[in-house]
Structure 1
Amino acid sequence: MPIDIFNWIFPLLGLALVLLVLPLAVYVFREYERGVVFTLGRFSRVSGPGFALMIPFVQQVVRTDLRTRVEDVPSQDVISRDNVSVKVNAVIYFRVVDPQRAIINVADFQMAVSQLAQTTLRSVLGKHELDEMLAERDRLNVDIQEILDRQTDAWGIKVANVEIKHVDIDESMVRAIARQAEAERHRRARVINAEGEQQAAAKLVEAGRMLAEQPNAMQLRYFNALNDIANDRTTTIVFPLPAELLPKGPRGGQA
């Protein structure tokens, strides 16, 4: 009888041991996941996606998500090149392209990217004037993205896009910008008016030359003027009279 008990105990113990160790040895990585495998503390390989078998207590696995991450950069106090204080915030899109470097070369790559983005945002925008921050956001986004991408390459991080969301300025500066825009509109109106006068003068000179070459055309203009006066129902009609028909005065001038 005791022999039969031992025959049952050892297989049961073996089965229990397998059931305890199996969850520690079997890993399943999703399509967007990778596992950085360390064997006795030393890097051995990057595993995934799919099924992977590890040696329990000898190999450790650090999972890494390869999907694009979104990092909101907090509002930063920036002094522009023309000494205007503004608050700027942005959003960054990045992803892990090399799990080995992302895990080994930096302790917390997401925190590192966030801090680097804040300092880069202040340094880049501080080199530009306020008008450029407001009107050339696309170019500034590209500049910040390229700088971040170069610096995070050693961490196995790819910065895909940077978008400046808000540029908040003081209320007094808003009024100053409004006055500047109004002055600019007045300047453009004066320039357009002057250009119109110049073009009208050029057309009048051209018309005068054409009328000088064709005297009959001047008579037609006289008749058009009389027609316009008659249509206005006025009691006074002015007849244009050539200066040659006026009588001459005693001194040879026109009376």
Structure 2
Amino acid sequence: MAWNQTNNHKPELDPWGKKNSPEQDYSEKKEQKKSNEKKTSINFKKIFYNFNNIINHTTNSKNLLNKKIHPFLILVVIVFFIWCASGFYTIKEAERGVVTNFGKFSHLVEPGLNWRPVFINDVQAVNVETVRELATSGVMLTSDENVVRVEMNIQYKITDPSSYLFSVAYPDDSLRQATDSALRGVIGRSTMDRILTEGRTLVRRDTQKEIEETIQPYHMGLTILDVNFQTARPPEEVKSAFDDAIAARENREQYIREAEAYANEVQPKAHGKAQRILEEAKAYSSRIILEAQGEIVRFLKILPEYKKAKEMTLKRIYIESMERLLSHTKKVFIDKNSNSTLFLSLNNFISDQKKHNKSFLNLTKPIQHKSNFLKKDQEINYLSSLSPNHFLKQRRINSIRNDIKNIERE
């Protein structure tokens, strides 16, 4: 039978067209059953294989993703964020930030929140508001070859932070050395008396000036605010002698100040008194001149009458003079031929006589004090006012003035 020939539901024949025997059919069925079992087992394997392929494919896809985002890249990103966050810093109000780029000065930073690239830029905060102090002292030799111990305090502040950090290696130590050098130079040019007494202010000023001139070429970024010359004292061996000398100078200064105060108090009084005396002298001179002129005028008026009637004029002048003279005397003249009885109060008469004698003694008494001259002038003025035109009284007054002048000369 041919290979492509159908059997029409007849028992199968072998390839040569012969009918198979039952044993052969049984063996064929058995083999077919084995083959079917084999095919069935093969299909399960294929299914398991396919399932494994799917799982492996999923695992491979995850591995592919893991290969695309490498752990090192994640580490780099984290480090970058940490680097950026660590670059923020704050500068205080009294400070200024000095920024350096790989160790080289870049710029200054104002107070507040700022950022810098770490490991590239570095920032140093410098306080520019605080007033710093520097104290120095030592035993030094003066120009007059004396030894004195001096203590000085310097106040300064930073005005240029970049110059303060980079111009000089150790600016504070450099300032200390400049201060010591300037102080020794000024003390060496001064005497001990000047240092210990009135020259302290000049020493302080000269020291500050020399310190500024010394540090200026170095551009240290410092500004000297004040130099306090605290103490200057001699060695202990001669301290007591110098204390006595200083005390004597202080006493001298005190006496000078007291004398000046006294002079300032007395001089205005003396000037006022001198001015008053001058005014009184001018007034007295004017009065005497006017009185003399009045006498001249009076005699010139009497002269024509005297030429006409000499006896009558002389008698009238005599009577007027006696009237003025006797009107101020305490003496009582009576006519001896009169029979009238007079009653006099002897107590009043005696007391008035004592006062008159006392005033006369005061006029002739030597003057011992300046105030007496004024009293004499007042008495002279009083006598002149009583009889300004009487020549006898005028002579008395002139004689008293001459006595006063002689006493003043003595």
Query: Same fold by TM (over 0.5)?
Result: yes
Is residue 159–residue 222 contact of structure 2 (8 Å, CA) maintained in 1?
yes
Q: 2:212 — aligned with what? A: 149
Report the AA paired with residue 33 of structure 1.
E
What CA deviation, in whole Å up to 9, does each residue of 1:112-146 have, x standing for no partner?
Answer: 11121112111111111112112232222222122
Match of 1:102 among 151, 164, 169: 164
Q: 1:174 — aligned with what? A: 239
1:161 equivalent to 2:226? Answer yes
SS in 2 for 1:155: coil
Is residue 94–residue 129 contact of structure 2 (8 Å, CA) maintained in 1?
yes
Q: For 1:1-255, list aligned pairs within 5 A.
A: 14-15=77-78, 17-23=80-86, 25-134=87-196, 135-153=198-216, 154-180=219-245, 217=363, 219=365, 221=367
Report the AA paired with residue 175 of structure 1.
S
What CA deviation, in whole Å up to 9, does each residue of 1:144-201 have, x standing for no partner?
Answer: 1222223333211101011111213123433333454577669x99xx9xxxxxxxxx
Percent identity between the aligned chains?
Answer: 22
TM-align CA RMSD: 3.5
What CA deviation, in whole Å up to 9, does each residue of 1:85-119 have, x standing for no partner?
Answer: 01111111111111121111111211111121112
Larger radius of gyration: 2
Deviation at 1:52, TM superposition (A): 1.9
Is residue 73–residue 118 contact of structure 1 (8 Å, CA) maintained in 2?
no
- Unaligned regions of 5+ residues in structure 2, if any? 1-61, 260-360, 369-410
Is residue 234–residue 242 contact of structure 2 (8 Å, CA) maintained in 1?
no
- Select the structure with the greater relative contact order (CA < 8 A; seq sep ≥ 6): 1
Report the AA paired with residue 82 of structure 2.
L
Query: How many corresponding residue pairs?
Result: 200
Is residue 145–residue 160 contact of structure 1 (8 Å, CA) maintained in 2?
no
Deviation at 1:37, TM superposition (A): 1.2
Report the AA paired with residue 138 of structure 1.
T
State how far apart, in whole Å, the 2-side matches of 1:84 and 1:46 are: 50
CA 217–156 in structure 1, closer or farther in 2 if over 3 Å, else same: farther
Deviation at 1:218, TM superposition (A): 5.4
CA 183–105 in structure 1, closer or farther in 2 if over 3 Å, else same: closer
Is residue 94–residue 130 contact of structure 2 (8 Å, CA) maintained in 1?
no
State how far apart, in whole Å, the 2-side matches of 1:37 and 1:31 are: 17
State how far apart, in whole Å, the 1-side matches of 2:143 and 2:180 are: 18
State how far apart, in whole Å, the 1-side matches of 2:246 and 2:154 are: 32
What CA deviation, in whole Å up to 9, does each residue of 1:205-255 have, x standing for no partner?
Answer: xxxxxxxxxx96551658xxxxxxxxxxxxxxxxxxxxxxxxxxxxxxxxx
State how far apart, in whole Å, the 1-side matches of 2:364 and 2:189 are: 65
Is residue 96–residue 157 contact of structure 1 (8 Å, CA) maintained in 2?
yes
CA 48–217 in structure 1, closer or farther in 2 if over 3 Å, else same: farther
State how far apart, in whole Å, the 1-side matches of 2:226 and 2:366 are: 70
More strand by share: 1
CA 83–14 in structure 1, closer or farther in 2 if over 3 Å, else same: same
Is residue 149–residue 157 contact of structure 1 (8 Å, CA) maintained in 2?
no
Report the AA paired with residue 144 of structure 1.
T
Is residue 27–residue 52 contact of structure 1 (8 Å, CA) maintained in 2?
yes
SS in 1 for 2:132: strand
SS in 1 for 2:365: helix
CA 84–157 in structure 1, closer or farther in 2 if over 3 Å, else same: same
- Unaligned regions of 5+ residues in structure 1, if any? 193-214, 223-255
Is residue 39–residue 58 contact of structure 1 (8 Å, CA) maintained in 2?
yes
Is residue 152–residue 158 contact of structure 1 (8 Å, CA) maintained in 2?
no
TM-score normalised by L of structure 2: 0.42
Deviation at 1:81, TM superposition (A): 1.2
Report the AA paired with residue 242 of structure 2.
I
Is residue 233–residue 239 contact of structure 2 (8 Å, CA) maintained in 1?
no
